[in-house]
């Protein structure tokens, strides 16, 4: 994706949602947003792991 990865966009949306939930006192919305933030961090970790795996394959000539 462009400058912002899918995970980054999801994380920003979740942060905004969490702030909205906190400012309105909606604890359910804030909790849902924390879950979405965790999912975004997992996506980021997955993306990083995939990139490292590609790099190792290129470096050592290992195919899938």
Domain, as residue range, for 41? 6-60
Band (pLDDT 50/70/90 cuts) for residue 5 is confident
The pLDDT of residue 8 is 85
Provide the number of structural domains found in the chain: 1
The Cα 13–Cα 64 span in angstroms is 35
For the full predicted model, state whether its pTM sits above 0.85.
no
Residue 1 lies in a domain: no
Residue 10 lies in a domain: yes
Residue 47 lies in a domain: yes
Residue corresponding to tokens 């909790």: 31
The Cα 12–Cα 3 span in angstroms is 14
8-60 pLDDT tens trace: 888 999 999 999 999 999 999 999 999 999 999 998 999 899 999 999 999 99
- The token duo for 28 is 């359910």
Residue 32 lies in a domain: yes
Asked if residue 1 has pLDDT above 60, the reply is no
The Cα 41–Cα 47 span in angstroms is 10
């Amino acid at each position: 994706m462009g400058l912002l990865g899918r995970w980054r966009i999801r994380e920003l949306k979740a942060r905004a949602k969490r702030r909205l939930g906190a400012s309105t006192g909606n604890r359910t919305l804030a909790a849902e947003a924390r879950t979405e933030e965790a999912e975004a961090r997992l996506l980021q970790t997955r993306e990083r792991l995939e990139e490292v795996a590609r790099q190792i394959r290129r470096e050592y000539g290992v195919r899938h």
